[in-house]
Chains A and B, each alone.
Chain A
Amino acid sequence: MSNAAPKAVVIGGSAGSLDALSQILPALPQSFPRPILVVVHLPPHRPSVLAEVLQRKCAIAVREAEDKESLEPGTVYFAPPDYHLLVEPDWRIAFCADAPRLYSRPSIDVLFESAADVYRRDLIGLVLSGANSDGALGLHAIAAAGGTALIQSPREAQNAAMPEAALRACPDAAVVETRRIAEVLQALADEHS
């Protein structure tokens, strides 16, 4: 297969997802062949130290996304608080300050739908622990565009509501145990690159 078409991974989570991210991201190598975009629901009115904290544990680069920057492989981009994170057709980051969706800005659905539009089948989407149903429609959009849908096992998620909602919207998605997620991402990324 050609490597011409860029590919990406998108991850969304809320309550309880930091534990999962702290297991997944440190297990990925610096050479991970795709950019990874992450939306975690956070309080809107203060700067986030999330990326900074995770970077200390990770080989892969972890930082907060910046408006209109190009997406690079081997880099994890976190959505800033109070902005939606989107992907431009030329594989750059875009922010928008449109109304929150399901009381959330950033919204997982908004990122997933926008990325599905751009990457089509070259996208892997992953829904982690969380207390509402954000991400369900987005994961469905990823699957509908031919991408790969993954869900953290609801039994293991600290908060099962989000993975369960994703599974209802996307019954064919692969349910993955937390400790295997990094390995699965790596295998999928290798297979398609």
Chain B
Amino acid sequence: MAAPTEGIELRLLLEAIYQQYHYDFRGYSIASIKRRLKQALERFECGSISRLQDKVLHDPAVFPSLLGLLTVQVSELFRDPLYFKAIREKVVPHLRTYPSLKVWIAGCSAGEELYSFVILFREEGLEERTIFYATDINADALKRAQDGVYPLDQIQLFTENHRNAGGKSSLSDYYTAAYGSARFDRSLRARAVFSDHSLVTDEVFGEMQFVSCRNVLIYFDRDLQNRAIGLFNDSLVRKGFLGLGAKESMRFSSHAEQFTDFVREEKIFQKRGAI
């Protein structure tokens, strides 16, 4: 099929999804959404994006499953261990000075990053004073985050990551293995609030000391990246911290001046204090 036609179909589909279901993918990176839509065309046996649009609008069972495909994320506990090591060694000493803490995991997907944070905070004695907000637009992902169950064959990688992140305990203290799955302990969720929140259409909901949003902004175009970073800026207390993915930056954001590099190589930024 000619690419220009596909571009038209793609924009029409995203508009249809927005009008009917109020999920706004119109500012997403076209390249990655196209790639995911190709998988969707196979799954729903549609020869073209227009045919998929027909199904999305008229078959209520299709959209939830399409949403899952469009927002699917693969992650690991302590993905990029050096990021968590930098938090432990360089950010935690600052966080200790607060009597209470709020941490926002934006785009938490199936919860791997949330559990990484809670375990790290428990090891550092900060868990009791912290509320963790874990948000995503995908209800299925949030449900999985709340379940905290991961395939057992991932545990070796998670354990290695945890060790490389400077883990002070044994990861096996936090899960029980059964039937090919690792079920993370419910106590890890005691201080977590799970919520549906969109970086595209929703607003600030609290004042945070730390916002972690990793490998979410790469899926956005520059305008949307700018909106999200503005949201993080408005959510953070002065001198609060923002952690992004290894290959994400504020290069194209109008809010860049509000932040300084805190741990440059790990993409941890600090919001400036009062001027």
Binding site for B on A (CB under 8 A): 45, 66-69, 80, 82-83, 86-89, 94-99, 110, 113-114, 117-118, 120, 145
Contact = CB atoms under 8 A, between A and B. Distances in A.
Nearest to B216: A97
Nearest to B31: A86
Given A98-B36, A120-B3, A67 B246 contact: no
Contacts of B80: 45
Interface string B1-34: 0010011000000000000000000000111101
Interface of B: 3, 6-7, 29-32, 34-36, 72-74, 80, 215, 217-219, 221-222, 225, 245-249, 251-252
Given A68-B252, A88-B30, 10 more contacts: A68-B222, A69-B251, A94-B30, A96-B32, A97-B73, A97-B245, A98-B74, A110-B35, A113-B35, A114-B31
Contacts of B73: 97
Contact of A83 (B3, B30, B217, B218): B218
12 contacts: A67-B247, A68-B222, A89-B7, A94-B218, A96-B218, A97-B73, A97-B218, A98-B72, A98-B74, A113-B35, A114-B34, A117-B6
A83 B32 CA distance: 12
A192 B223 CA distance: 33
Contacts, number: 70
B215 A67 contact: no
Choose among A97, A117, A118, A120 the residue with the greatest number of B CB atoms under 10 Å from its CB.
A97
Nearest to B218: A95
Nearest to A80: B247
- For B7, B35, B36, which residue has the most chain A Cβ atoms within 10 angstroms? B35
B29 A88 contact: yes
A184 to B, nearest CB: 26
B247 A83 contact: yes
Nearest to A82: B246
Interface SS, A side: loop
A66 B246 CA distance: 11
Nearest to B74: A99
A68 B225 contact: yes
A117 B252 contact: no
B268 to A, nearest CB: 16
A65 to B, nearest CB: 9
A118 B248 CA distance: 23
A95 B216 CA distance: 10
A97 B74 contact: yes
Given A95-B218, A96-B219, A86 B7 contact: no
B3 A98 contact: no
Nearest to A99: B74
A136 B152 CA distance: 33
Nearest to A87: B31
B35 A66 contact: no
Contact of A66 (B74, B217, B251): B251
Contacts of B252: 68
Given A98-B36, A117-B34, A66 B249 contact: yes
B134 to A, nearest CB: 18
Nearest to A119: B3
Closest 9 CB pairs of A and B: A86-B31, A96-B32, A94-B31, A97-B215, A95-B218, A94-B29, A99-B74, A88-B31, A114-B31
A66 B219 CA distance: 13
Contacts of B245: 97
Contacts of A117: 3, 6, 31, 34
